[in-house]
Amino acid sequence: MQIELTVKNEVVAAIKAVYQADIAPDTVQIEATRKDFEGDLTVVVFPLLRYSRTSPENTATAIGQYLADNLDLIASFDVFKGFLNLKIVQSYWLAQLKEAAETENYGFVAPTADAPLVMIEYSSPNTNKPLHLGHIRNNLLGWSLAEILKANGFNVVKTNIVNDRGIHICKSMYAWQQWGDGKTPESAGIKGDHLVGDCYVLFDKHYKQEIRELTAAGRTPEEAEQQAPSMCAARELLRKWEAKDPDTVALWKRMNQWVYDGFDITYRELGIDFDKIYYESQTYLEGKAEVLRGLNAGLFEQEPDGSVWADLTADGLDRKILLRSDGTSVYMTQDIGTAKLRFNDFPIDRMIYVVGNEQNYHFQVLATLLDRLGFKWGKTLFHFSYGMVELPSGKMKSREGTVVDADDLLADMVKVARKTSEELGKLDGYSDTDAEKTYRMIALGALKYFILKVDPKKNMLFNPEESIDFNGNTGPFIQYAHARICSVLRKATEQNISLILPKKLPSLLDKERNLLKTVTAWPQAVREAGTAYSPALIANYIYNLVKEFNQFYHDYSILSEPDTDVRAFRLVLSAVVARIIRSGMWLLGIESPERM
């Protein structure tokens, strides 16, 4: 907050005036005063003792007196051991509330044309399976991070790289050829991404059976894996695809379109969008060209079998294959090409990859390779590394068909929201249409909040029933608080009660002051979330704001308050809280119903 900087600068002046010492503002530690003490801000005195050369109590008292004498913002101060607790004048907090009430996008910084451009890559699905719970966390983190950076004044491009080529795609294609019985999404009555995903699982089933048969016939496990007919056929399909065999390319296009159509439905359900989509099939050739350029320049090595490798041991990494012996590409090749094309397409100041922590090493290698190839932006790429989502039953495995499908999860969340809401009577009196719309808001709010409230770096355990609870740190708990405030404001409008902030008020009561202080911390929370790349900071701020509001609402009357100035103040404060809830939840991709 600005007030913290003001107090820091004044403490610097106090040290100069009282102890004749020069210190930097960063030396001064300021934190919010604990609720069991009187005050708003606390100066931690211990780091300043080296300059005062006296006791913590004497130092705090001297600094406190200087601040009280020289800073109009200080109403009073109190000393407790090595802590200086400062109480800020009431007029400051009321001025902050006035600014919040009159500022449409309070806490946000509008991007300008010359603001830095950040590109954020997220989703990055393979076209051999539908989106699953792990993809949901990726998409929610990427979309939310984009909106948070926009709120911090950055220009943002949201991008996706679709991994639409490679051996995994060819496995699904071969399985459809052999065992698909000519099914299409229309004839089977299922989404295209589900149909292709079923083929991928079917391939793995037959492949494992072939391995068992070959090992029983005397092959080693490694030989069996390489010689299994299904795997050989899939590799041949990949070779034919890269050779542009017409029939292979036609089948590839057909099955990929099934998947794209399915993805689009899921993205719409999640509220996820992109400004630019890249496809590996269009970028890998660019990557191959860069690898061959590096080979000719002596940056890479070619083995006798024709494969191309990068020796990165001098960089603390290992040897990395860039082209297979048959000339086909690997993921790294594609990522090199995609990075080059993106920087050609956009004047990017920062490139952020939202990818799980299982790929930490991959992005260390990518940055090193791009730097070696001479791209000045290579080492500036940022890997937004997040933890995995697990279930009570453990990790998910796509090839074994044990993933939690995104579409099934969304449908189940709506069922849970409907069941919970009906049991609690939350939507009694709603029309069927309005009730279903609200169930979806609650379901998506529960899912998104439960995932985004967790520190992105941490692994997390997802529990649908726990996420939908109307109590505790959940999306529905926050949505219900917003609806409660909207109900109060509607009644005020119906009763023609003014929502204009009074110029003067009696002394703020404790819970009014606590709520108001939390409100004024919103801009700082937005900045910190942008700096830390953490939607969790937004989620936890909003939860704390709602807790403070609920205590305020429980202890103080609003509409029935007899003092008209106090009533107007509480209504304006409530309206600002509702707006911040809407803004914060929007940064998480969550709608805030006005009725629940």
What does the angle CA 56 – CA 57 – CA 58 come to, to the nearest 5 degrees? 95
**Final residue of a domain: which of 390, 419, 447?**
390
**Average pLDDT, stretch 162-181?**
94
> How much of the chain exceeds pLDDT 70, in percent?
98
Q: Which of 261, 303, 276, 267 is nearest to 138 (CA)?
A: 267
Q: Are residues 382 and 434 in the same domain?
A: no
594 within domain boundaries: no
Taking 90 as the threshold, does the pLDDT of residue 535 lie above it?
yes
What pairs with residue 321 in β-bridges?
A: 309
**Average pLDDT, stretch 36-54?**
94
**pLDDT of amino acid 226:** 93
224 within domain boundaries: no
**pLDDT of amino acid 327:** 82
Q: Which of 396, 161, 115 is nearest to 263 (CA)?
A: 161
220 within domain boundaries: no
**Average pLDDT, stretch 383-400?**
70
C-alpha–C-alpha distance, residues 248 and 369, integer Å: 32
**Final residue of a domain: which of 357, 390, 423?**
390
In this structure, what CATH number is given to the domain that contains residue 546? Answer: 1.10.730.10
**pLDDT of amino acid 121:** 98
Q: Are residues 37 and 169 in the same domain?
A: no
Q: Are residues 385 and 410 in the same domain?
A: no
Taking 80 as the threshold, does the pLDDT of residue 564 lie above it?
yes
Q: Are residues 300 and 167 in the same domain?
A: yes
Q: Are residues 328 and 454 in the same domain?
A: no
Taking 90 as the threshold, does the pLDDT of residue 551 lie above it?
yes
Q: Are residues 267 and 144 in the same domain?
A: yes
**Average pLDDT, stretch 124-139?**
93
Domain range for 285 = 117-198+245-390
- Confidence at 398, pLDDT banded by 50, 70, 90: very low
Q: Residue 285 is which amino acid?
A: L
270-318: pLDDT as tens digits: 999 999 999 999 999 999 999 999 999 999 999 999 999 999 999 999 9
The total number of structural domains that make up the chain: 3
CA distances from 477 to 166, 323, 385, 460 (A): 44, 52, 29, 20
Q: Are residues 418 and 328 in the same domain?
A: no
Q: Are residues 481 and 566 in the same domain?
A: yes
Residue 134, C-beta contacts closer than 8 angstroms, at least 6 positions apart: 356, 388, 389, 396, 403
